[in-house]
Amino acid sequence: MSQPLETYQDEIYLNGLTWAVPPYPTDVSGLEEAARAVMTPRAFDYVAGAAGSGDTARENIEAFRRWRIVPRMLTDVSAPDYGSRVLGTELAAPFLLAPVGVLAIAHPDGEQAVARAARAAAVPMILSTAASTAIEEVAAANGDGQRWYQLYWPSDRAVAASLLGRAEAAGYSVIVVTLDTRTLAWRPRDLDNGYLPFLQGIGVQNYLSDPGFRAGLSSPADEDPGGAILRYTQIFGDLSLTWDDLPFLREHWHGPIALKGILSAADAVRAADAGVEGIIVSNHGGRQVDGAIGALDALPAVVQAVGGRLTVLFDSGIRGGADIVKALALGARAVLIGRPYVYGLALGGEAGVRHVLRALRNDFELTMRLAGAASLADLGPEFLHQRS
């Protein structure tokens, strides 16, 4: 299906004829700086921060700089089509919104603003288990938009099954199971602020609203909120999980399953052997294993190992259209946008997220055309040069 291209650039220049400028910066570093100015310092640190020394967060960005696009000239890009279909979901442009928890710390409208913006921009959103808004409320805000659900697999199996059942009933079509966060990493910026929003009751809404979770409490959450949060900290992750546990997901989820946090070809092969439909090459934006490989550096070997068997998605470090082109040229079918949309949310709620999505899409489509690619299928490693 042919998708009309984004026209944000035209709109901005036309508005500029009457001296208007866009409401928010059009590049991600400008967005980050603007967001820093409007967020509380500890909320900004929570979003921008990373594990340990921040080495992997920096490496994610640097990995992109090492790959250079080699544009091709005189190819027909007069009627490009950058649409695709990924795990049964139609993508007008090859990106989705990454699962990001506790969005209420960025803006009071939190996940609901993101859900509305995602629908308006026809970009699928992936709702986090650690959301500050319940699964069903986000689904209502997303309406007939496309949505996936991200599971933090809790140690209480009744809660896991209940979360999956609720997501399925609320119209989430794909489950993303995050494997890299069975426990929280050492995060100095949050530690220095003494700040973990979950302990303040932000980001636990999917648990507090869950019948399976509530059944495990000795007294109701509204009578003993501290007890409920303590219970949440006890069941959040399961450090005993292994590949042998994956069949549990199939029993409780009937759509496609994607495993998030894969960085090695060996794990990618295990995922394919386990029969899941997709994987997401990701290091959680450098927020978990400090010193981990830059996510883009992990992508080629994973694609080589399982690209023919699994849908390979990618995140960690996407900051502009060129980054999307590079990840796709290295074999990702689509990418997830993380921090950039959170900065948009902080700046302008729904309108801020919408701005970021339109800007990214326009930047991506222009870069594709200028590089000489008329479709996603045109892209391949021959569009890239790896600098030494």
Ligand X SMILES: Cc1cc2nc3c(=O)[nH]c(=O)nc-3n(C[C@H](O)[C@H](O)[C@H](O)COP(=O)(O)O)c2cc1C
Q: Which residues make up the interface to ligand X (CB under 6 A)?
A: 46-47, 60, 98-101, 128, 130, 150, 178, 260, 282, 284-285, 287, 315-318, 338-339
Shortest separation between residue 237's beta carbon and ligand X, angstroms? 12
What separation, in Å, do the N-terminal and C-terminal C-alpha atoms of the chain show? 39
Give which of 246, 305, 302, 251 is closest to 276, Cα–Cα.
Answer: 246
| Angle at the Cα of 276 from the Cα atoms of 299 and 81, rounded to 5 degrees | 60
- Give the residue with the Cβ less far from ligand X, 98 or 125: 98
Shortest separation between residue 367's beta carbon and ligand X, angstroms? 17
Q: Which are the contacts of 201, defined by CB distance < 8 A and separation ≥ 6?
A: 208, 225, 229
Beta bridge partners of 96: 336
- Give the residue with the Cβ less far from ligand X, 98 or 164: 98
- Give the residue with the Cβ less far from ligand X, 323 or 378: 323
* Known catalytic residue at 254: no
- Give the residue with the Cβ less far from ligand X, 119 or 339: 339
Q: What pairing do the DSSP bridges indicate for beta strands 147-151 and 175-178? A: parallel
Residue with nearest beta carbon to ligand X: 338
Shortest separation between residue 284's beta carbon and ligand X, angstroms? 5
Query: What SS3 class is residue 180?
Result: coil
Shortest separation between residue 69's beta carbon and ligand X, angstroms? 19
Give the C-alpha separation, 292 to 180, whole Å. Answer: 11
Q: Which are the contacts of 210, defined by CB distance < 8 A and separation ≥ 6?
A: 159, 162, 163, 166
Shortest separation between residue 43's beta carbon and ligand X, angstroms? 9
- Give the residue with the Cβ less far from ligand X, 180 or 378: 180
Q: Name the packing angle between helices 339-371 and 8-16 (round to 10°).
A: 100
Give the C-alpha separation, 363 to 350, whole Å. Answer: 20
| Angle at the Cα of 376 from the Cα atoms of 307 and 329, rounded to 5 degrees | 55
Q: Which of 107, 252, 254, 284 is catalytic?
A: 284
List the helix and strand counts (H, then E) for the chain.
Answer: 16, 12
Which residues form the catalytic set? Answer: 284
